[in-house]
Structure 1
Amino acid sequence: MHISKVDLNLFTVLDAIYTEGSITRASLKMNLTQPAISHALNRLRQLFDDPLFERQGHTMTPTPLARSIIEPVRRALRGFEVTLSGAARFEAASSERSFSLAVRDVLEASVLPPLMANIAHSAPSTTLNTLQVSRRELESELAAGTLDAAIDILLPLSNDIRRAQLAGDQTVVLVRRGHPLIKRRKLTLETYLELEHIQTSSRRRGPGLEDVELSRHGLQRRIRLRCQHYFAACRVVSQTDLALTMPDRLARIVNQQFDNQILPLPLEMPSLDVYLYWHANVDNDPANSWLRAQIAAAMN
């Protein structure tokens, strides 16, 4: 069937139902009536000769065919959006655009203050939404345009995803002031291994980067506490003799109210590099290019 005989608006309905898992929520998202959404779905079913979605309780579950076509459909829709936005110049000073950025919670505290300062100055009417997205879903979200960009560590993504390295970071160790094992603000590897440590991770198990590096030298530290957030860990450090190993940039932000000592890690560690990711289909999108420039400036 030639594309001229197909109503392309049907594919925005397909994407909405797939995303929302419900005709009711899809109708609210698209500001259409439920009968209009149902009518569009029926036309799609005729077009593909497939039910596309099957009701299971209150959820519209996609069929195998719907799962196989959703990513090409989303890429095509995103291409149309980029073409339309590229046809008009992006004027940051007057834009009311809303951007979505995927960023791990570990990076939020260091990225957002300078980024929002830049955005507030040059684009006062734009808004920014930061999200934590599963790394398995990152590529599809960028392709669909539900994410404009992402900041993360080096990831194995396809050639459709562009990346640029941002400023790196070093690893430091936090201990409380007056710690009995720390003399003259100097931390040796021997003392580091003698300390008891906090490991901060959202994962239930598994070593940290510093543990991997220690194991390469046949060394191991003692983990006394495993917790989820650096803020909590910094507070524990201030009230105990436990030590915390973490990124330097974040340490200087989170530690301000606790005044723990920040010491160099007495172990050679690779720089903690982070990357900016975006989809190839927005390479030349003026708005996305502007956002990437703001992020790069904030991370310098």
Structure 2
Amino acid sequence: MHISRVDLNLFTVFEAIYSEGSVTRAAQQLHLTQPAISHALNRLRQMFDDPLFVRQGQTMVSTPLARSIIEPVRQALRGLELTLTDNGNFDPAQAVKLFNLALRDVLESTVLPPLLERITQQAPEINLAAIQVERRELVSELAAGTLDLAIDMLLPLPNEIRRQQISRDTTVVLARRDHPLVKGKLDLDMYLQAEHILASSRRKGMGLEDFELSRLGLQRRIRLRCQHYFAACRVVSQTDLLLTMPEGYARIANQQFGNQILPLPVSMPSWDVYLYWHQNVEHDPANRWLREQVIQSVSGK
């Protein structure tokens, strides 16, 4: 079928149903009536000779064909959007827009406060959604435009994903104020003698500090594995466990607990944080503006 015979608005409906998993929510997203969305879906089904979505309970589940075409459709819609908006003009003071930013929860407390301070001063109608995305989904979501930017550690991503280092952090160790072993200083023997907390979103596996210890033929005792550094800081304040974490977040999360913050007594690579975006928004004025806000807010300028 030639593209001249296709209503391109149908693909906007297709992407909305796929993202929302619901005809009703797709209608709300696109500000259309539910019958209009249902009519568009019927036309899509005829066009592809496939149901595309099958109702299971309250959810519209995509068929294999729908899953196979969603990324090309998203990239095509993103390309059209950029073609229409990339005229070199972007006025943050007048723009009404939602940016989606992917970052790990450990970075939210260090990145979001200065970033939102800058954005609210310059752009009263621009909103930001900070979300957590599986790393294996970053490339497809950045390409599709469902993510505008991502902030994470150095990742092995393809060349189509642009990157820039925006910060570097050191590793420290937290111990409670009256820890029987740690009294203002911490050497390697004390570190290995103590028991530890490992904060990680993964269900198993070593922390970065454990890899460095293993290079030296050393091993520490992990007494507790938990998901979040903030919870780990509280556990530290009430036990003799030690916590190893990035210094920047440690100084934020530890404020109400008063734990000791000490240098890690073993050499560790720095925590390098990168900003990621897709090459198709390299010159997009809105995305370029947001990148500048992130870089300047993290650098403290």
Equivalent in the alignment of 1:42: 42
Equivalent in the alignment of 2:91: 91
Cα shift readout 1:101-155 (whole Å, capped 9, x = no counterpart): 1111111011111111221222233211111112222222222222111111222
Q: 1:163 and 2:160 equivalent?
A: no
Q: By how many angstroms is 1:41 displaced? A: 1.7
Q: 1:225 and 2:220 equivalent?
A: no
Equivalent in the alignment of 1:235: 234
Change (3 A) 1:223 1:152: same
Query: Partners in 1 of 2:112 and 2:90 — Cα distance?
Result: 22
Q: Sequence identity, in percent?
A: 69
Query: Partners in 1 of 2:103 and 2:59 — Cα distance?
Result: 29
Q: Which moved more, 1:192-201 or 1:88-97?
A: 88-97
Alpha carbons 2:88, 2:284 under 8 Å: kept: no
Q: Secondary structure at the match of 1:241?
A: coil
Q: 1:261 and 2:260 equivalent?
A: yes
Query: Partners in 2 of 1:218 and 1:274 — Cα distance?
Result: 28
Q: Secondary structure at the match of 2:136?
A: coil
Query: Partners in 2 of 1:260 and 1:77 — Cα distance?
Result: 51
Equivalent in the alignment of 2:292: 293
Cα shift readout 1:216-269 (whole Å, capped 9, x = no counterpart): 111011112222221221122222221110000001111112221111101111
Q: 1:202 and 2:206 equivalent?
A: no
Q: Which moved more, 1:154-163 or 1:76-85?
A: 154-163
Q: 1:245 and 2:215 equivalent?
A: no
Counterpart code for 2:99: F
Q: Secondary structure at the match of 1:51?
A: coil
Query: Partners in 2 of 1:177 and 1:25 — Cα distance?
Result: 51
Query: Partners in 2 of 1:168 and 1:86 — Cα distance?
Result: 33
Q: Secondary structure at the match of 1:142?
A: helix
Q: By how many angstroms is 1:36 displaced? A: 1.5
Equivalent residues in 2 for 1:140-159 (5 A)?
140-159=140-159
Equivalent in the alignment of 1:119: 119
Q: Structure 2: any 5+ residue segments left out of the alignment? A: none
Cα shift readout 1:60-82 (whole Å, capped 9, x = no counterpart): 22222211111011001011111
Q: Secondary structure at the match of 2:294?
A: helix
Equivalent in the alignment of 1:26: 26
Cα shift readout 1:135-194 (whole Å, capped 9, x = no counterpart): 2222222222221111112223233322212211111001122322224x2211111101
Supply the RMSD in Å over aligned alpha carbons: 1.6
Q: 1:105 and 2:105 equivalent?
A: yes
Q: By how many angstroms is 1:88 displaced? A: 6.2
Query: Partners in 2 of 1:241 and 1:60 — Cα distance?
Result: 50
Counterpart code for 1:150: A
The two structures have a TM-score, normalised by structure 2, of 0.94
